[in-house]
Structure 1
């Protein structure tokens, strides 16, 4: 799962000072998936200058083995190139996989259990040495080491022999399922068909690492660059990161990253309100600044002003994320489908969206898959509640379920300052269900305890708020972890909250995974989503929208639906 901290990190709800009160003009800013910022983001980009990145959260664990997919708001992709990458374009066009170090997006065998890649000519590390497939194989293998854990788990599951492999520090032999017949060819042998392998090959674990330069857990201090920038300073475990040009990177081998600025300076650990204030004011170096993790909050958006120039500096992003209510049918009364359906009908999505920050920051959801074609989005609403709920229908279903006088249930939520899984959304659900005769007792837990309650098969919550984000724009990493019965984990973090183990669902997941055409797979994922939705195993609530300011001198703003955040590799500050 894409880590929520990357994209949906806490919003700044504190009202800004008078100097930035007009930032709320953002709600008049650009909408839709074509997410370029306005006039301030346009113009002919030029090379040179220093780009500042102002973030709430440190860019920790700056090691390709430990980063989760392309996390960190695109910063890692400036240093780490991979076999494939995302298309660096706005909106839906950015959901496409394109070649990066490789000449193509991969060549599968007949059943997609084997994928072959060939490297481009002229690839070099920052020290000028050639990049070979042995470096990519080693980079992947070191991601299996316990001391370098934290990355996406797919390779351990997908590669033959991956489940028991402990990394090159303990097993010098390496993985037989990664074959490098020569310096430019690499072959991956998988346990089962995986048509999404080109998407996975965008993960930072596929970045090349020269074995001679590997310093284990200390590698993050100075990783060897294969991208347009190299690390010259890493202080406070990513709180202050300085990147400068890699002289051995060539745009001739990289048509995705433009690398306009001479220098990029990342400063983290900042208060969200301060970040937005600095971006809005755009004084000094802040005129050439951006953020990759701090949204404009509802309090800021509510302060509607008439400053069009400021509104034009707001970029709108969409990312494959769904916020939902989850049921554990192993817990009464949620074992009764009629009860789950009644709750589905009773939900007031208008009040939920208002609790999440308003319509500028959330879009109503009735499907589990995000509302983007790349995922296979197929519109459906099996339990139409309208905008404000249908309490009469809910009461009718409760009566059929054996609860003519209503019932009392508990809803587990987080106590963190988080509008998506926190008290605001929980209270909106509570008030809506009350109208249907359902008394909801709110159970607020601190974040760690909350995650334990919602992901624990044994003694977990029966009804809770949850959310899921995609590691790449496909239905696979969205539906499989949540509804594939073979992924139920009984002694660890289990994401299949309903503990659904339907042979027909499992089989269809396997069949879709054989498809190497993303469009054909999307059609099947959408149909599967619709079919599973009939069982009322969850109640989709909303998909988040991200609104972020850029400094007044920032040009060439590109925000793809793959990440939902500004792509640093495209930004110019001159």
Structure 2
């Protein structure tokens, strides 16, 4: 699972402020009449103002493209997201590799060939063994936190503990210095998407310093780390051994990028609005505009020109534990679905500029294959009468009381404010909600363990890559249920037909063919009312008046820092 940076990686329809340039960006600078020229965009210092991030910067411990777009400025991977605005930006493209990989054996084997001329920031060549070593170290217990897919997908991955004790993962083969082959336990047509994860970044074994590596990593991207203060500061300068001749996806316009983390969103937005000093050439990769700025957008044309809008493939929802009463009865689950007032939920998170109502689990967009459905139509404000009718059929004519768990922090978009909106809506239907607020630190631990999981909880799911698989598999595949903790299949669904369809879709290596199958599966599962979709978040982000080509990409739902330039 990937969470939004400020909310906790996606694709859906994107609205850009300005016209997309041929290079794949947009002249979003607003205050300049000069068009953005990707051939002449070098120079200057870009400032990045963030709320979160920078807690980790080791490619092994980052979760997919965690930390926004920043890691991909230092770490190249076998594949990467296509660096363009719009729907085309939801597809993977080759990065270190010459292509998206050659599948065989029903997508259980994937072969990649590295490009010529690849170099680390010290000038040494990058080879297939460097990529393998980078992947292997991500299995080390000393470097936790990365995406779990390789542990599950690679043969022997579940028991492998990394290379520090001399072990070798035999399911990754390097027959020569440019070839790397992956042997998987089961078919996975999405492997080219997974190969964008930072775990696929090459690491030279001779320069691996273990847990200290993030302080001075060896770069394969356009920038190298000059300074890293965990959780606070990151300064990037040019890697002189990188060039666009070997990397056609990263424009890498600024000479220097200075990132500050740990700022309050209100402070970030105030600094971006005022744009004094270095803040004139600043962006954020995790702070949506606040109420004050939203109110000004309609009346302040100059500010409106410095906003980009988009979405991240994410759904906020109510989760049922269908093994616990009263939610073992589908009529009770349906009653909750009818009772929900989505308009009040959207108002709680800032209004329609920042959220759109959801009746499907999959977000909008061709990449996900969403098929529109609304099996329990309640309109914008809910249907408490229909909910009461269903409760009566289920034997709860006098209503019932339920506990609702939620994190005690509103920044992720499913905290106390949303819980209050849900509580009020259910009250209208005769359902009394007992709020159960948990700390951010405890929330995933409690809700992710079946033995401690509350019957009803607020949850969020975001796309690790823009496709239906990483949305549906963790939530609905019965073989993904983890009794000891870390479980995301909160409904505890274990339907052989669903599991079989997941396996069949996983064999498909053409994303365009797989997408409608994922959409159809979502539509079929939705009939069981295993969860109640609430809303899909939107991004509305400011950028400084001296920033150009700041567009929100459709993979992660934030600015693509690799494409931004400063005046």
* TM-score bucket (shorter structure): over 0.9
1:174 to 168, 171, 182: 168
Residue 241 of structure 1, CA deviation: 1.2
Answer whether contact 1:409 1:440 (CA < 8 A) is retained: yes
1:29 and 1:112 map into 2 onto residues whose CA distance is 36
Corresponding residue of 1:67: 62
1:38 and 1:251 map into 2 onto residues whose CA distance is 23
Q: In structure 2, the residue corresponding to 1:251 is in which secondary structure?
A: coil
Deviates more, 1:440-449 or 1:331-340: 440-449
Corresponding residue of 1:208: 202
Q: In structure 2, the residue corresponding to 1:510 is in which secondary structure?
A: helix
1:43 to 31, 35, 51: 35
Corresponding residue of 1:2: 2
Q: How does 1:492-531 map to 2 (within 5 A)?
A: 492-531=485-524
Residue 40 of structure 1, CA deviation: 4.8
> Is the counterpart of residue 573 in structure 1 residue 566 in structure 2?
yes
Compared CA separation, residues 434 and 469, structure 1 to 2 (3 A): same
Deviates more, 1:392-401 or 1:451-460: 451-460
1:238 and 1:250 map into 2 onto residues whose CA distance is 29
Q: In structure 2, the residue corresponding to 1:374 is in which secondary structure?
A: coil
Per-residue CA deviations over 1:463-508 (Å, capped at 9, x if unaligned) read 1111101100111111000110001000112110010000000000
Corresponding residue of 1:19: none
Corresponding residue of 1:384: 377
1:92 and 1:430 map into 2 onto residues whose CA distance is 37
Residue 366 of structure 1, CA deviation: 0.2
2:261 and 2:518 map into 1 onto residues whose CA distance is 38
Answer whether contact 1:50 1:261 (CA < 8 A) is retained: yes
Corresponding residue of 2:259: 266
1:239 to 232, 247, 250: 232
> Is the counterpart of residue 418 in structure 1 residue 417 in structure 2?
no
- Give ranges in structure 1 of 5+ residues lacking alignment: 10-27
Residue 29 of structure 1, CA deviation: 8.6
Residue 417 of structure 1, CA deviation: 3.2
Residue 536 of structure 1, CA deviation: 0.3
Per-residue CA deviations over 1:24-68 (Å, capped at 9, x if unaligned) read xxxx99499999646359822421111111111241221111111
> Is the counterpart of residue 438 in structure 1 residue 438 in structure 2?
no
Answer whether contact 1:124 1:226 (CA < 8 A) is retained: yes
Corresponding residue of 2:473: 480
Residue 189 of structure 1, CA deviation: 0.3
Residue 418 of structure 1, CA deviation: 3.1
2:17 and 2:437 map into 1 onto residues whose CA distance is 36
Corresponding residue of 1:327: 320
1:228 and 1:462 map into 2 onto residues whose CA distance is 48
Answer whether contact 2:316 2:536 (CA < 8 A) is retained: yes
1:429 to 422, 432, 451: 422
Per-residue CA deviations over 1:216-267 (Å, capped at 9, x if unaligned) read 11111110000001111112x1412111111111211111001111111111
1:134 and 1:470 map into 2 onto residues whose CA distance is 30
Q: How does 1:279-318 map to 2 (within 5 A)?
A: 279-303=272-296, 306-318=299-311
2:354 and 2:535 map into 1 onto residues whose CA distance is 10
RMSD, aligned CA: 1.9
2:242 and 2:331 map into 1 onto residues whose CA distance is 60
Per-residue CA deviations over 1:137-196 (Å, capped at 9, x if unaligned) read 0000011111111110100110111111111102x2411111111111110000000000
> Is the counterpart of residue 466 in structure 1 residue 459 in structure 2?
yes
Q: In structure 1, the residue corresponding to 2:411 is in which secondary structure?
A: coil
1:367 to 355, 360, 370: 360
Q: In structure 2, the residue corresponding to 1:147 is in which secondary structure?
A: coil
Corresponding residue of 1:22: none
Q: In structure 2, the residue corresponding to 1:375 is in which secondary structure?
A: coil
1:550 and 1:308 map into 2 onto residues whose CA distance is 14
Question: Normalization by structure 2: what TM-score?
Answer: 0.94
Q: In structure 2, the residue corresponding to 1:507 is in which secondary structure?
A: helix
Residue 207 of structure 1, CA deviation: 0.4
